[in-house]
Amino acid sequence: MKKLFGTDGVRGVANVYPMTSEMAMQLGRAAAYIFKNSLRRHRIVIGKDTRLSGYMIENALMAGICSMGVDVLQVGPLPTPGIAYITSSMRADAGVVISASHNPFQDNGIKFFFKDGFKLPDAMELKMEELIFSQKIDSLRPIATEVGKAYRIEDAIGRYVVFLKSTFPKELDLSGMKIVLDCANGAAYKVAPAVLSELGAEVIKFGVQPNGTNINDGCGSLHPEVISEAVKEHRADLGIALDGDADRVIFVDEFGNEVDGDHIMAICASDMLKQNMLRKSTVVATVMSNMGLDIAVKKAGGKVVKTAVGDRYVVEEMRRGGYNLGGEQSGHMIFLDHNTTGDGMLTALQVLAIMRRTGKTLSELAQVMTPLPQVLVNVRVAERQDIMTIPEIAALVNDVEAKLGDEGRILIRYSGTEPLLRIMMEGQDKYQITSWAKEIAALVENKLGGH
């Protein structure tokens, strides 16, 4: 059982345990110990988003890493996928991202990448925790010339911009396109406008003036209404909204309608299937993806494999199965042919390439998928129990599943952060599935309800 690491690194309110400078230093020391596996000089890349607390945590991490005799390569504010790319391309031993992604500015987080650019496996995170809490490495103190150094990589942004542009077809450009872009006052505030402008687009920018406290504040992928209004006002071709660390993206079409991650997966999968580029004709999504995605991909000649919620589980399944496209409804999209983690700008470029090559608008492309009506009902519970062990609930769930058949589904799971049971149902008739979901919820509340 992990004590510090969650599904995406260590995260919490900055300057409150475990997101303190003291713990950051300990994490730096543990990481340096794990990745220092020979007599040569070792290097760890550190990057961050634009949060005020990033300075405090960055310096603590650097101190911990250098105190173990490992050098630090600082890249400053850079998207999470950019840090994964720099780690791999510079042949560093590991990468560290200081970010709480889409969370408000007072939160922060620390997540690690292995030298290949992929997130650390659970076993390695457990090893780091064991080193910290057992105090095994407290006495290890390199001295004199063995202490680590810190270097700033001045051209990190340029390197990442060049990489992103290399994923866009060389025979195409974005000249004549008007794009509304919202960078959430986060890590992509320099990178994203540069990429689109250099490819020839006219860019209308939002969320590019970070001040340390305005990251994700009424902007970015959590607030697509900002770009929706701007697209209509400026009569733009589409809108692109990133989150604070730019590993996810949400679009709006030329009419201002939201286009979520499921639609983007359907668009990209259908295009890749036509070009015979989708490995094993398979897309990896999570259990939260709409069943409309399954129908769309099947119609195009492919299939969808589902994982637990979380982009790390999507990536793990992609690597295990040898797949090259995966993602989440929330806008995390992974193109393993190009990068090792979710990348909002890379995703945007793949969609823009399809638009350019086909001559279709985003609204036309999005018609490839018709989402099924979806209902979500939350029930507050006093205790977590496998509801299928309660005969009355199991009988009702089984009866509803039989009535839904192949034209719908039920997903029942506990929240990872709250005492809630989430009942999600999809089907052809929204009125009917709403009625069934409420019926199940009422029975669950009667048996397990907490007030």
For residue 451, pLDDT over 60 is answered with no
* Contact (CB, 8 A) for 317 and 341: no
Cβ-Cβ contacts under 8 Å for 336 (sequence gap 6 or more): 315, 318, 319, 323, 324, 325, 326
* Contact (CB, 8 A) for 371 and 262: yes
Cα separations in angstroms, 310 against 8, 13, 443: 8, 21, 29
Query: What percentage of residues in the chain have a pLDDT greater than 70?
Result: 99
Q: Per-residue pLDDT tens for 406-425?
A: 889 999 988 866 788 999 99
- Mean pLDDT across 430-450: 91
Q: Per-residue pLDDT tens for 60-93?
A: 999 999 999 999 999 999 999 999 999 999 999 9
Give the active site residues.
Answer: 101
For residue 449, pLDDT over 80 is answered with no
Q: Per-residue pLDDT tens for 292-343?
A: 999 999 999 999 999 988 888 999 999 999 999 999 999 999 999 999 999 9
Q: Quick one: CA torsion of 247, 253, 257, 263, rounded to 10 degrees?
A: -60
Buried b or exposed e, range 363-389, using 16+ CB within 10 angstroms: eebbebbebbbbbebebebeeeeebee
pTM here is 0.91
Q: Find the range with the poorest average confidence among 113-122, 171-180, 241-250, 314-323.
A: 113-122
Q: Per-residue pLDDT tens for 375-399?
A: 999 999 888 889 899 999 999 999 9
Task: For the chain, give percent helix, strand, coil, nearest 5.
Answer: 40, 20, 40
